[in-house]
A and B are shown apart, each in its own frame.
Chain A
Amino acid sequence: MIGKRAAGGRFTWRARSGSDRVYILCLVVLAIVIACTILAPLIAPYNPNQIFAGPIYQGPSVQHLFGTDGLGRDIFSRVLYGGRFTLLGATLIVGISSTAGLAVATASAWLGGRLDAAVSRALDVLFAFPGLLLAILTVSVFGPGFIAPVLALAVAYMPYMARLTRSVAIRERTKPYIDTCIVQGFSGMWICVRHLVPNLMPFVIVQATVSFGYAIIDLASLSFIGLGIQPPTADWGLMVSDGETGILAHHPEESLFSGLMIVVTVVAFVIAGERRGAVRGRYL
Chain B
Amino acid sequence: MVRIVAFRLVAAVITLLVASVVVYGAIYVAPGSPLSFLIGGHGATRQVIRQIEAEYHLNDSFPVAYVRWLGNGVHGNFGTSLVQHQSVSSLIEPRLTTTLFLVAYAALLIFVFGIGSGLLAALRPRRVGGAVVLVTTVAMAIPPFVWAVLLTTVFAVDLAWFPAIGNGSGFAGGLYHMTLPAVALAMVWLAYLSRITRAAVDDELGKEYVETARARGIPERYVFRKHVLRNAWIPISTVAGITVAGLIAGDAVIEVAFGLNGIGAYLVQSIEAKDFPVVQAIMMLLVGIFVVVNTLVDVGYAVADPRVRTSERR
Contacts and interface: CB of A to CB of B under 8 A. Distances in A.
Interface of A: 8-13, 15, 121, 124-125, 128-133, 136-137, 139-142, 213, 217, 220-221, 224-227, 237, 240-241, 243-244, 247-248, 250, 252, 255-256, 259, 262-263, 266-267, 270-271
B144 interface: yes
A224 B271 contact: no
A255 B152 CA distance: 11
B246 interface: yes
A262 B283 contact: no
A244 B202 CA distance: 41
Interface in B119-136: 122-123, 125-126, 129-130, 133
Contacts of A247: 149, 152-153, 157, 164
Given A137-B26, A263-B141, A271-B137, A9 B123 contact: yes
A248 B145 contact: no
B129 A11 contact: yes
B157 A250 contact: yes
Contacts of B142: 259, 263, 266
B30 A141 contact: yes
Interface residues of B, number: 63
Interface in B285-302: 286-287, 290-291, 294
Closest 10 CB pairs of A and B: A11-B125, A132-B249, A267-B141, A259-B146, A130-B249, A217-B143, A140-B271, A128-B15, A141-B30, A130-B245
13 contacts: A128-B19, A130-B290, A131-B249, A132-B249, A133-B249, A136-B267, A136-B271, A140-B271, A225-B252, A225-B256, A227-B271, A240-B145, A266-B143
Contacts of B30: 141-142
B257 interface: yes
Which one of B122, B129, B137, B271 has the highest number of Cβ atoms from chain A below 10 Å of its Cβ?
A: B271
Nearest to B253: A221
A84 B88 CA distance: 39
Given A11-B129, A125-B14, A141-B29, A252 B253 contact: no
Contacts of B294: 128
Contact of A140 (B14, B279, B291): B279
A208 B274 CA distance: 35
Interface of B: 11, 14-15, 18-19, 22-23, 26-27, 29-31, 37, 122-123, 125-126, 129-130, 133, 137-138, 140-146, 149-150, 152-153, 157-158, 164, 199, 202, 205-206, 214, 245-246, 248-250, 252-253, 256-257, 267-268, 270-272, 276, 279, 283, 286-287, 290-291, 294
Given A136-B271, A262-B146, A224 B141 contact: no
Contacts of B287: 128-129, 133
Contact of B248 (A11, A130, A221, A255): A130
Nearest to A8: B214
Contacts of B205: 9-11
Nearest to B255: A225
B268 A133 contact: no
A225 B164 CA distance: 17
Contacts of A227: 268, 271
